[in-house]
A and B are shown apart, each in its own frame.
Chain A
């Protein structure tokens, strides 16, 4: 009869420590079960496949396999004109297309030295913050769904629908906007649109408190997430986790403040960080609550942007769009912006021709996902679901 041993995992042990302990721990029967989570699995947020090696319900090793949605974005862009690429950036992270557009057009504008008017910048800020809101609503909602709470998901999707209505009026698209152009926008704001944004803001007042009372501070929800899958600040930087994940680990880091673009330095907003309110800094709950708090800040920015636009005299949003982009300046640039999922970087190489020579998208989710195999040893399967949800990945962006 073999002796049954137990591993004592000390409270607050680092993931590396746990994984080391598990390596040293030999399974009594030498049997581990390999379970494939995905690509068709409700909790993987798309077509991610995670190969889990489990002992009972405890995960010994998790290997993410990606590429099930590899749509050849980078190759396609090499055959598209500079302006046409904007439509493809929409489909990177399909939950927040305006933010993708913004990252790409800003990179191109910086490279080709195009200056846009203040009004265009403000409209861009407004639209991308609205989209950040929509993206965070999906992140929060589906996270609730992962933990087993259905209702908050549907409520948040409902609030998101109102934003989509605004987009619908703005550019005809609900999900994929394709609204920005290198040097400007596709067209000006529709009549009364700013008034509708105002109406939406007043409608949203207090809704986030409802989310907090229904979900964030629900006892079961907190119990499920507190002290689970802790990713420390150091680890975040090493693995390239950015955005809400890094802020959830307690680092006050936001490109909108630290490397301002698009006039973000003139807006008044805070950077929410995780503070270990219910558990340890950098646990799943912290990463989650940072998103909720960011929604509030986004609404503040939207409010300021709308007020500015109302006062601003109208101008031609197409004025700075280059008439022809068949001959451009050669060179290369790496430009990054704050995307709802983290830092979205575009590395663009131009050889002076009509098409980009090379376009690499540094997708935030791609880097975030790479931390998974380092964090997961020692988690239960249910925690794994919580981990995947808390780093908020979108597979369109991971696989590109």
Chain B
């Protein structure tokens, strides 16, 4: 099934999901409203015509205007792919329903995108940071992220030898 076909069926089934087909990419992407993602995913997995049984990748993205979560789905049965995207403006926190009950692999991927982008996932079974320590400040993959200077008294900056040398001479 091609992506426009999938898009048409989805648009029929979810008229309220504000579905948009972004065709300016090498592969078209279906954009949906955040709230509708879990329902769409469930349909995509369970409908025998789609049967997207594997979630290849789930990534957080920051564009100039907004934060997004991108889902790359694949069906081992029908051998077709689709990309979903949910996004929200930077002014407010992006909250997306979790898909970890649909594809368990999303569990860790969602945790990662929360960890690095601060995207929240509702009903996530284990909403903790995954890569960084729990008490880390900020979301590093945001473009405006300021790195921490120290963490638990461990210095995280390089020693500036030039400055030290100057200090010795004076």
What are the residues of chain A within 8 A of B70 when measuring CB–CB? 332, 347
In the complex, chain A residues whose CB is within 8 Å of the CB of B63: 357
Cα A332 to Cα B29 in complex, Å, equals 10
Identify which of A74, A240, A366, A374 contacts B141 (C-beta below 8 A): A74
Q: Which of B45-99 contact A (CB under 8 A)?
A: 53-57, 59, 61-63, 70, 72, 76, 79, 83
Give how many A residues have a beta carbon under 8 Å from the other chain's beta carbons.
36
Using CB atoms, name the residue of chain A closest to B79. Answer: A258
- Asked if B140 is at the interface of the complex by the 8 Å CB criterion, the answer is yes
User: Is the Cβ of A334 less than 8 Å from the Cβ of B61?
Assistant: no
- Stretch touching chain A among B4-12, B36-44, B127-135: B127-135
Name which of A64-72, A86-94, A198-206 contacts chain B: A64-72
Q: Which residues of A contact B112 (CB under 8 A)?
A: 366
Q: How many B residues touch A, CB cutoff 8 Å?
A: 35
The residues of A with any CB-CB pair to B shorter than 8 Å are 66-67, 70, 72, 74-75, 110-111, 237-240, 251, 253, 258, 331-334, 336, 343, 345, 347, 349, 357-358, 360, 362, 366-367, 369-371, 374, 399-400
Measured CB to CB, the nearest residue on chain B to A362 is B57
Q: Are B103 and A343 in contact, with the CB atoms below 8 A?
A: no
Contacts A67-B130, A349-B61 given; indicate if A238 touches B105 (C-beta within 8 A). Answer: yes
**3 nearest A-B residue pairs (beta carbon):** A240-B105, A67-B131, A360-B59
Q: Is the CB of B57 within 8 A of A333?
A: no
Q: In the complex, A347→B140 CA distance in Å?
A: 18
Contact B27 A367 (CB under 8 A): no
Contact A367 B108 (CB under 8 A): yes
Is chain A's binding surface mostly helix, strand, loop or mixed? mixed
Interface set of B (CB-CB < 8 Å, partner A): 24-27, 29, 53-57, 59, 61-63, 70, 72, 76, 79, 83, 103-105, 107-109, 112, 116, 129-133, 140-141, 145
Closest to B61 in A: A358
Q: Are A240 and B140 in contact (CB under 8 A)?
A: no
User: Among the listed A70, A343, A358, which residue makes an inter-chain contact with B131, where contact means beta carbons less than 8 Å apart?
Assistant: A70
- Residues in B neighbouring A360, C-beta threshold 8 A: 57, 59, 61
Please judge, given known A-B contacts A67-B130, A74-B116, A347-B57, whether A331 and B108 are in contact too, CB under 8 Å. no
CB-defined contacts of A67 to chain B, threshold 8 Å: 129-133
Q: Contacts A238-B104, A345-B57, A360-B57: A333 and B27 contacting too (C-beta < 8 A)?
A: yes
B26 touches A238 (CB 8 A): no
Specify which of A237, A332, A349, A400 is in contact with B54 (CB 8 Å cutoff): A237
**A67 to B111 CA separation, bound complex (whole angstroms):** 12
